[in-house]
Structure 1
Amino acid sequence: MDTLIVGAGFAGAVTARELAEAGERVLVIDKRPHIGGNAFDRLDADGVLVHQYGPHIFHTNSERVFAYLSRFTGWRPYEHRVLAVPDAATGAAYPLPINRTTLNRLYGLDLDEAGAAAFLERVREPKDPIRTSEDVVLNSVGRALCDAFFRGYTKKQWGLDLSELAGGVAARIPTRTNDDDRYFTDRFQAMPDQGYTKLFERLLDHPNIQVRTGIAYQQIVATADCRRTVFTGPIDEYFGHRYGALPYRSLRFEHAHLPGVAQHQPVGTVNYPNDHAYTRITEFKHLTGQQHAGTSIVREIPCAMGPGSDPYYPIPNPANEALFKRYEALAETESDVVFIGRLAQYRYYNMDQVVAAALATSRQLIHSGEAVAA
Structure 2
Amino acid sequence: MAVDLLVVGAGFAGSVVAERMAAAGKSVVVMDRREHIAGNAYDEPDSRGILIHRYGPHIFHTNSREVFDYLSAFTAWRPYEHRVLAQVEGQLLPIPINLDTVNRLYGLALDEEGLKDYFERVRDPRPEIRTSEDVIVNTVGWDLYRKFYQGYTRKQWGLDPSELFASVASRVPVRTNRDDRYFTDTYQAMPLDGYTAMFSRMLDNPRITLALGEDFRSVRETVSARHIVYTGPVDEYFDSVFGKLPYRSLTFEHEQLPGVATFQPVGTVNYPNDHAYTRITEFKHLTGQEHPDTSIVREYPQATGDPYYPIPRPENDALYARYRELAEKEKGVSFVGRLAQYRYYNMDQVVGAALSAARGLLEGGL
Q: TM-score, normalised by structure 1?
A: 0.97
Q: Distance in 1 between matches of 2:254 and 2:42?
A: 14
Paired position in structure 2 for 1:191:
190
Q: Which residue of 2 is the match for residue 19 of structure 1? A: 21
Match in the other structure for 1:105: 104
For residue 79 of structure 2, what is the aligned residue in structure 1? 77
2:223, 2:314 → 1: CA distance?
37
Q: Does 1:342 align with 2:343?
A: no
Large movers: runs of 4+ above 4 Å: none
Deviation at 1:243? Answer: 0.3
Matches within 5 A, 1:112-131: 112-131=111-130
Shift in Å, 1:153: 0.2
Structure 2 residue matching 1:226: 3-state secondary structure: strand
Q: Tell me which residue corresponds to 2:232.
A: 233
Amino acid at match of 2:54: Q
CA distance in 2, matches of 1:17, 1:220: 20
Match of 1:284 in 2: 283
Deviations 1:273-313 (A, max 9, x none): 011000000000000000000000000000011xxx20000
Give 1:86 deviation, angstroms. 2.2
Aligned counterpart in structure 2 of residue 358 of structure 1, from 338, 354, 361: 354
1:319 matched to 2:319? no
Q: CA deviation at 1:252?
A: 0.4
1:125 alignment partner AA: D
Structure 1 residue 22 displacement after superposition: 1.1
Residue identity in the other structure for 1:312: Y
| Larger mean Cα displacement after TM superposition, 217-226 or 112-121 | 217-226
Hey, what's the Cα distance between the residues in 2 that align with 1:219 and 1:50? 32
Q: Which residue of 2 aligns with 1:50?
A: 52
Mapped to 2, the partners of 1:2 and 1:63 lie a distance apart of 29
Q: CA–CA distance in 2 between the matches of 1:124 and 1:354?
A: 35
- Tell me how far 1:227 sits from its aligned partner: 1.4
How big is the shift at 1:137? Answer: 0.7
Aligned counterparts, 1:158-237, within 5 A: 158-237=157-236
SS at structure 2 position matched to 1:2: strand
**What is residue 244 of structure 1 aligned with on the other side?**
243
Number of residues of Structure 1 aligned to a counterpart in Structure 2: 364
**What is the rounded CA distance, in whole Å, between the counterparts of 1:123 and 1:229 in structure 2?**
53
1:320-354 CA-to-partner distances (Å, cap 9, x unmatched) read 00000000000011110000000000000000000
For residues 347 and 147 of structure 1, the distance between their equivalents in structure 2, rounded to whole angstroms, comes to: 27
Q: CA RMSD in A?
A: 0.6
Q: Percent identity?
A: 62
Q: How many Å separate the matches in 1 of 2:293 and 2:283?
A: 11
1:222: how far off?
2.2
Give distance in 2, aligned partners of 1:347 and 1:75: 27
Q: Quote how far apart the aligned CAs of 1:51 are.
A: 0.3
User: Which letter maps to 2:11?
Assistant: G
Instruction: Give the AA of the match of 2:360.
Output: Q
Q: Which amino acid aligns with 1:328?
A: R
State the AA in 2 paired with 1:41. Answer: D
Aligned-partner residue type, residue 267 of structure 2? G
Aligned partner letter, 2:193: Q
Q: Within 2, Cα distance between the matches of 1:221 and 1:63?
A: 36
**Residues 1:67 and 2:74 aligned together:** no
Deviation at 1:221, TM superposition (A): 1.8
